[in-house]
A and B are shown apart, each in its own frame.
Chain A
């Protein structure tokens, strides 16, 4: 036994160090669950289905509710955060998927040689720009532009017959702005994956199309794109997962609404990630610690949603033969 161990000593050591990676995920889950547990028992299911982020009366003595010490009239419900998170990410995808697919086609079929390398590089650099720089740009460029010019115009034109574009168009901080900014952040993921897949398509498929008299674009539309359906779905879901967890950019342009659902597409909202980042300072004022536990419950919820979305994406990609 000792002999066997010494022979594989290197492998054991390697495995032990490598094991720290999966271990870190398990530790994260255990500690988040532990930190969120008082909030989970106090809030119950109501946490998910009503809008209320109320730390309670700071100046009163704590009371015991359901075995947990909380401030009187404390009440936590984060439906508005779940809705805000899902809606911003959904808007981001509605914008990013068509733009991503179209620019992937342009990169793979319209450009060649150094031009393709340079073009792909530009699109991939969009993913390298730090999130907080996106936030800065959104705050100083996008919000004045959209709030003063684009949204009033949208309200006058589209808003007259599509209810969600109905006014008032507000100041520019809100759902649509956050969605647009997120779209730019996730579009490189879609464009780069699809471009790689299109470039890697066997040339026999193109030749078969060309021999039938199809033009380049007809080959792309009717032969190449249908073949990449699963990849497009998988990458889209992956991009959704990425958008769900974005913090800084959303924090700077979303308007940070509290306890209210958006009434139209311009309304201020907040997302789970942005809310955690913006509320910890005030949560620390709660002497019973319940607000910090409730934030941990949001973090756990966000993690569960992201992991499920990611798992679904990887499942679809695995089925289509990619390991992205």
Chain B
């Protein structure tokens, strides 16, 4: 009898469950809404302040102290990331092939572990490493090559990881038929693996490029800064880049400097989003066709 008295009625239990469910659903929707709101607020803020600052002269003149344009910084950003890509892609994709094709040996396991560790190394640590080795040690000073190699080290593990996954997804039967036709190992990689896994590998490379373009910390003490357009030197000359403009010019007490910072923020955000978006679209379209 006692039990029956202490148990709440079915009606109350049902109400309690309904309320608990409603509260939880409300909390999930609210937290999603907050994240979405913050993203849209950041993007609109950058657009609203960046668009008016984006004159044609931004693209045609170089920075002069805290005024002028951003031509040198735009070219510098593209050069730094582009050169980093040229260095990182062959090494990263080779590592991906090796890890996917010979990934069960001890050497591959160690390499995979070290690659995972490298992902976790903060980018400012990579920047300081670049400073003490290349800028000081090799005597390159602040330069394009020092900045690009530092960025390349940062991109390597991402490219290796995504290409390993892409090559692993290639069916074994494809490799076996190529070997059965007498194709050597190199031929299998060049003619079977790379063409088949082209799209997901490219997606990984684009994602790594987007990360590199938006980075500041590894470049502060490797690329330095320059008010002039790149003059063809790989070492001994600093390079300007967009993210530096954002960080350094927004702290200046002049409206012209702020305008440049807003314009740089808009440009770099647009570039990163465009690359990110095209990488995703590429992957989605490839999956749909695959089905």
Query: Which residue numbers of A lie inside 8 Å of B, CB to CB?
Result: 8, 10-11, 14-15, 17-22, 24-28, 31-32, 35, 98-99, 102-103, 105-107, 109-110, 119, 121-123, 125-126, 128-137, 139-141, 184, 187-188, 191, 215-218, 221, 241, 244-248, 251-252, 273, 276-277, 280, 292, 295-296, 299, 302-303, 306-307, 309-311, 314
Contacts and interface: CB of A to CB of B under 8 A. Distances in A.
Contacts of B102: 11, 15
Contacts, number: 244
Contacts of A18: 91, 94-95, 97-99, 111, 160
10 contacts: A17-B91, A18-B97, A21-B91, A102-B30, A128-B210, A132-B214, A184-B35, A217-B21, A221-B24, A299-B129
Contacts of B127: 276-277
B82 to A, nearest CB: 17
B118 A24 contact: yes
Given A15-B107, A221-B24, A314-B116, 18 more contacts: A11-B102, A15-B98, A19-B111, A22-B110, A22-B111, A22-B115, A102-B32, A125-B39, A134-B42, A217-B25, A244-B122, A245-B123, A247-B122, A248-B217, A273-B124, A273-B217, A296-B132, A303-B121
A129 B269 contact: yes
B124 A276 contact: yes
Contact of B125 (A20, A99, A135, A302): A302
A137 B250 CA distance: 11
Contact of B35 (A139, A140, A187): A187
Q: Interface range on chain B: under 10, 10 to 19, 20 to 34, or 35 or more?
A: 35 or more
- Interface class of chain A by DSSP: helix
Q: Return the 4 tightest CB-CB contacts between A and B, nearest first.
A: A245-B122, A130-B214, A310-B120, A106-B28
A128 B120 contact: no
Interface residues of B, dominant DSSP: helix
B122 A273 contact: yes
Contacts of A191: 35
Nearest to A303: B125
Given A103-B28, A218-B21, A125 B276 contact: yes
Given A21-B114, A130-B269, A310-B120, A248 B95 contact: no
B70 interface: no
Nearest to A108: B28
Given A131-B214, A296-B128, A310-B120, A123 B28 contact: no
Contacts of A310: 116-117, 119-120
B121 A306 contact: yes
B269 A21 contact: no
A90 to B, nearest CB: 17
B215 interface: yes
B175 to A, nearest CB: 14
Nearest to B42: A137
